[in-house]
Amino acid sequence: MSTPGQDFYDAVVIGGGPAGLTAAMYLARARYRTLVVEKDDFGGQITITDEVVNYPGVPTTDGHALASAMRRQAQDFGAELRTADVTGIDVLDDGVKLVHTTRGDVRAFAVVLAMGAAPRRAGFAGEREYMGRGVATCATCDGEFFAGRDVLVVGGGFAAAEESVFLTRYARKVTVLVREDDFTCDAQVADRAKRDPKVDVLYHTELEGVEAGERGLVEATLRDAHTGERRRWQPQDDGTFGVFVFAGYVPQTSIVDGFVRLDDDGYVICDPTTLETSVPGVYAAGDLRAKDLRQVVTATADGAIAAVHAEQYAADMSRRTGVVPERPSVSVYERREREERAKTPPETTVAPVSSDADDTPAPQVGSFFDDDVRTQLAMVFARMEKPVTLQLQLDDTPLSVELRAFVDELVRLGGGKLAMMADRVERVDEHGRGVFNASLPLPFAAPVVSLLVRNGAGDLVPTGIAFHGVPGGHEFNSFVLALYNAAGPGQPLPDDERARIEAIHEPVDVMLFVSLTCTMCPETVRAAQRIASLNPNVRAEAYDIAHYPELRERYGVMSVPCIVVTRGGARRTDFGRKGVAQMLDLIEHV
């Protein structure tokens, strides 16, 4: 038996949602070397679900917490996680799979497809034109932008019923447009929407189109699906309103179209028992496969089934080829188990602690990071090539106090790779809030943390990367990656993207409006700030829009991420998730 190189795995899981993370957990626990490749944030669609009440053994939780727990489990068992785009898969002559990613090719005996599905467009007039300007697909991300307004919800399935109730936290009134004669989801879920006094349901009704005024959407055209009759709809106060589309999902199978067998709707067809696709050693799990029910519990079940059969396939391939991937010797899970056993030796009785004993270390108060996060941070800091200085500009608000405490703790964990400078802004209002000019391309809105590094002459220079607010929630990962990218070596990039970044020869300002609950924002922030880390002509600053109403009002922000690019006196606004290539497209066409 021979041991291949570091790019060889027993299994590669494509997709980091519940199905992919469950598959990785099962594979890694069985000691198979496993890589999970995810193009966005790990967790998948479940992370935008505000409340999960139907996952067995967990009475109630939110989607982000559930996904984070799954991710930790997979990592603790030894699974490796990597953020990258998968661009294709080939089968080599010996049956080994070659998985092409934007961070290099990897080889594996087995592949588990778990890319999930993305929101489907409803197809009404104005949907594409006003996406991010009144039309949205994520209630958790964008619901707060419609506080006190009327909202239309398009769809009659589980998501539409559930999210319509969630939107009542913000909206004055929620009107659900159901094309059929009733909801198509579980009756109990539908009943919550039907009983809510702030929710109206219009059955056999379609949204045909929307029209906008200067401040947002002002009118909708509704169509009766039975009679074809059309009527105008306007919010009760004749003001603006929002539209949230929950019209089902589209399977994310474009990279395997022509590689494995798909049905007419693009879902992967696989064996109902083993979940193996038409290609031996390639399995499918979760929302991208053809099946009747798509829920978190069915996704995790798929992940477990696919993993068990992928294990068998990998073992057979290893015996046939004589190749054994280098596997992790001890996982975090095993180390913890061993440490727990060591605390209480066998056949030893632990003496009770006297009532006046006070030797127990006091727990940390107000800590931002748990042990798992600290471990991951230590790995990032160890790889940083040079120190980064975090420059704080603070006002007299509680948010500044929180940012100072956040950065203080981060610097303490930095192992000498981080330093901090803190200053107070010159002008504050009667509430202690920093005064700033919202009309500037990158307004100086406190509190803000900016990243600085030393140049060849030893001088501190700005990297063009900053975050206004406290980079917590989903933005924590993008902030840590900003540190890594600023310090070097940074995340790898294809040569063509690096060349396009170097070709930017005039100043470019990228303003990024985000919400800490938005799952689409971090990739967009990472992309813009990766460009800024490599080209001093580019500045990319993120703003937690919840804290800067002046900016929200000036740019009419109704959806995040919102991107405002200023170049050569011209300005362009765009919305939605962007990778590096898409961000460069936006910059180049201002």
Residue in 544, 551, 337 with CA at minimum distance from that of residue 438: 551
The domain boundary, picked from 261, 286, 321, lies at 321
Q: Which residues are CB-neighbours of 501 under 8 A, at least 6 positions away? A: 493, 531, 534, 535, 538, 580, 584
Query: Which amino acid, one-letter code, is at 488?
Result: G
Q: Which tokens in the block code for residue 264?
A: 């007419």
Q: Does residue 248 or residue 460 have the better pLDDT?
A: 460
Does the pLDDT value for residue 337 go beyond 70? no
Model pLDDT, residue 109: 97
Backbone φ/ψ region at 270: left (φ over 0), alpha (ψ -120 to 50), beta: beta
Q: Which tokens in the block code for residue 105?
A: 């090719």
Overall domain count for the chain = 3
Model pLDDT, residue 165: 95
- Its sign, for the CA torsion 337, 340, 346, 347, is negative
The residue count for the chain: 590
pTM over 0.85: no
Model pLDDT, residue 294: 78
Model pLDDT, residue 231: 96
Q: Average the pLDDT over 512-530 and give the result.
A: 91
Tokens 């094309």 correspond to what residue? 179
- Per-residue DSSP letters for 381-449? HHH-SS-EEEEEEE-SSHHHHHHHHHHHHHHHHTTTSEEEEEEE-S-B-TTSPBP--TTSSS---SSEE
Indicate if 197 and 317 belong to the same structural domain. no
CA-to-CA separations, 323 to 34, 44, 66, 312, in angstroms, rounded: 15, 33, 36, 15
Tokens 């280098």 correspond to what residue? 326
Indicate if 509 and 497 belong to the same structural domain. yes
Model pLDDT, residue 329: 64
Contact 7, 82 (CB under 8 A): no
Q: Average the pLDDT over 365-392 and give the result.
A: 86
Indicate if 300 and 235 belong to the same structural domain. no
Contact 243, 135 (CB under 8 A): yes
Indicate if 209 and 303 belong to the same structural domain. no
Whether 122 is in a domain gets the answer no
Indicate if 584 and 436 belong to the same structural domain. yes
Number of C-beta neighbours around residue 182 at 10 A: 13
Q: Average the pLDDT over 412-420 and give the result.
A: 95
Query: Which amino acid, one-letter code, is at 301?
Result: A
The alpha helices in 132-203, defined as continuous H runs, are 139-142, 158-167, 187-195
Measured CA to CA, the distance from residue 337 to residue 77 in angstroms comes to 12
What are the phi and psi torsion angles at 205 (to 5°)? -130, 135
| Segment (H or E) for 315 | helix 296-321
The domain boundary, picked from 286, 321, 356, lies at 321
Tokens 């936290």 correspond to what residue? 169
Q: Average the pLDDT over 515-544 and give the result.
A: 94
The parent domain of residue 225 ranges over 135-247
256 pLDDT band, cuts 50/70/90, is: very high
Whether 159 is in a domain gets the answer yes
Indicate if 300 and 243 belong to the same structural domain. no
214 pLDDT band, cuts 50/70/90, is: confident
Model pLDDT, residue 273: 96
- Range name among 64-68, 102-106, 497-501, 544-548 with the lowest pLDDT average: 64-68
Indicate if 388 and 460 belong to the same structural domain. yes
Q: Average the pLDDT over 495-502 and give the result.
A: 94
Mean pLDDT of the chain: 89
Indicate if 465 and 554 belong to the same structural domain. yes
CA-to-CA separations, 184 to 56, 92, 157, 203, in angstroms, rounded: 23, 44, 5, 11
Model pLDDT, residue 58: 81
Q: 370-377: long-range contacts (C-beta < 8 A, 24 or more apart)? A: 372/72, 372/75, 374/413, 375/332, 377/410, 377/413, 377/480
Model pLDDT, residue 355: 36
Specify the CATH number for the domain of residue 180: 3.50.50.60
Model pLDDT, residue 536: 96
User: Is cis: bond before 398, omega within 30 of 0?
Assistant: no
Burial label, 325 (beta-carbon count in 10 A; 0-12, 13-18, 19+)? buried
- Tell me the HSE value of 584 on the side-chain side, using a 13 A CA sphere: 17
